[in-house]
Amino acid sequence: ALRDGNDMGGGFLVSIDTMKASVAECAVAEGAHIINDVSAATHDDGMAGVARQSGAGLVLMHMLGLPGTMQNDPRYENVVEEVFEYLCSRIDALIADGLEQESLAVDPGVGFGKSVEHNLLLLRQLRRLGQCGRPVVVGVSRKSFLGKLTGRGTGERLVSSVAAMLFAVEMGATIVRVHDVRESVDALRVVTALAGAGEN
């Protein structure tokens, strides 16, 4: 799939989603530009080395617990500050391990060990996470918290996904992950045009 994607021409970057250094190493060798690690490079000690040696970007995501149990009654004293402190600490640790600060981005991990209210609080306070000094990546598309808010199934969350994505961008998200690319781009173009409508 990576070979096929790179044969399509330039103009886009390929991201690989993995916690395993061996998978990431193979992926960047085949042309992946970004490693998205839901464990923030804590699951596999070799991940930092792969990112450092390859020069690939590395997205550090916050996740409470493990994938199989992370949604079992997640609790925080202050979800925004705890996620902020964790992500900043991971940045510091990886820079100390030899990675360039410019290669790193952070992701609050919407839906990864968070309740609906935790997700909403994080999205409202994305600018706080931006104070880590790195781009903020957000993925809200079709997430279960949108289903809980709207009562819609996974395949019926286009409107809520686009709405949440637009809000995330307004709150400071630099990069967004989406399933419905055309609709998301159209919405961003319209909102951007409206925001600048009074400037001329």
Distance CA 169, CA 166 (A): 5
Tens digit of pLDDT per residue, the chain (200 long)? 556 555 545 668 899 999 999 999 999 999 999 999 999 999 999 999 999 999 999 999 999 977 778 788 899 999 999 999 999 999 999 999 999 999 999 999 999 999 999 999 999 999 999 999 999 999 999 999 999 999 999 999 999 999 999 999 999 999 999 999 999 999 999 999 999 866 65
> How confident is the model at residue 10, as a pLDDT?
62
The active-site residue out of 90, 134, 142, 143 is 143
Task: Judge whether 177 counts as a catalytic residue.
Answer: yes
Alpha helices in the chain, H assignment, sequence order: 2-6, 21-29, 47-54, 79-96, 116-124, 126-130, 144-150, 158-170, 181-195
> How confident is the model at residue 116, as a pLDDT?
97
> How confident is the model at residue 45, as a pLDDT?
95
> How confident is the model at residue 86, as a pLDDT?
98
Sheet holding 104-107, edge to edge: 15-17, 34-37, 57-61, 104-107
pTM here?
0.90
Task: Judge whether 143 counts as a catalytic residue.
Answer: yes
> How confident is the model at residue 185, as a pLDDT?
98
CATH domain 2-139 topology: TIM Barrel (3.20.20)
Distance CA 18, CA 180 (A): 22
Per the DSSP assignment, residues forming a β-bridge with 15 are: 34
The active-site residue out of 90, 177, 182, 189 is 177
> How confident is the model at residue 65, as a pLDDT?
79
> How confident is the model at residue 4, as a pLDDT?
58
Helix (H) or strand (E) holding 9, with range, is none
DSSP state of 136: B
